[in-house]
Structure 1
C-alpha cells in the first residue's frame, strides 16, 4: 500500500501537472471554462473552449509519455464521458449548446523533462451518451 506521504506527493504532482496544462492550453489560445470539475457522476481535469469546440481534457503525468498514454483507460474515459454529458446538460445553456455544437475529448500527457503532448480527440463519446 502507498503511504500517506506518497499519496500526498502524487496528489501535488497531479495539481502541478494540471496547472501546467492550463498554461499550455492558454498559450495555444484556449479559453479555460473550468478546472477540477466534479459532479455526481465523475470529474474532469480541465474544461476548455476553442472556437466552437468545448474541450474536455484529461491530464496524465507519468515517468514516460507512453505510460501517461496508457493511463487513460477505457473505464476512465467512460467516467469522463458521463461527467461531460452531465456538464453539458446542467452547466451549458440551450443557446450556448446549440452555438458550441461540438465537443471533444483531449488528453495532455506529461513526463519529466519532456514538453507536454496534446492529443486532440483522444477518444469519442459513446453513441448511447449523445
Structure 2
C-alpha cells in the first residue's frame, strides 16, 4: 500500500504543473511551438520541448513560491540530467539542419517568466 503524499509535496507538484502550463503559454506567445510536455526518458524527464524555426529547445521549468527561491532552483546536476534526457530523445524531435539547446524557465508569483537560453555547455 502506498502512503499518501505529504501536503508540501502535493503543493510543489501542483505549482510545478501550473508553472509548466504558464511556461508553455509564454513560449507560444514568443513564437515557439510546443512539441512535448513531461517527456520521460530512461535518464530523466524533460518538462517542455519546443521549436522555433530550426531551433529545438529542451526546457527545464522551475516554479517557486518566491523570486528569492528561484536563485537556488537550478544547478549543474539538474542541468546535466536534462541534457542527458535531451540526448536520449533528440533524434525524435530534430530534423536535418536543426540546432538544439537546453533552456530554463523560472517562474514565481508576481513576476514575469524568466527564459534563460542555452544554459548547458557540457559541464
User: Normalization by structure 1: what TM-score?
Assistant: 0.84
* Aligned residue among 71, 74, 77 for 2:76: 74
2:97 counterpart residue number: 99
- C-alpha offsets along residues 51-95 of structure 1, whole Å, 9 cap, x if unaligned? 111101111112333432421111111111110000114x246xx
8 Å CA contact 1:69–1:109 kept in 2: the answer is no
Structure 1 63/9 Cα, relative in aligned 2: closer, same or farther at 3 Å?
closer
CA distance in 2 between counterparts of 1:47 and 1:62 reads 21
State the secondary structure of the residue aligned to 1:81. Answer: helix
Runs ≥4 in structure 1, deviation > 2 angstroms?
A: 63-67
CA distance in 2 between counterparts of 1:60 and 1:50 reads 21
8 Å CA contact 1:44–1:84 kept in 2: the answer is yes
| Structure (1 or 2) with the greater helix fraction | 1
In structure 2, list runs of 5 or more residues that go unmatched. none
State the secondary structure of the residue aligned to 2:119. Answer: strand
What is the RMSD of the two structures over their aligned residues, measured on CA atoms?
Answer: 1.7
CA distance in 2 between counterparts of 1:65 and 1:30 reads 25
8 Å CA contact 1:60–1:69 kept in 2: the answer is no
2:86 counterpart residue number: 84
Q: How many residues align?
A: 119
Structure 1 30/92 Cα, relative in aligned 2: closer, same or farther at 3 Å?
closer
Aligned 1:115-130 pairs, distance under 5 A: 115-124=112-121, 126=122
User: Normalization by structure 2: what TM-score?
Assistant: 0.88
8 Å CA contact 2:19–2:61 kept in 1: the answer is yes
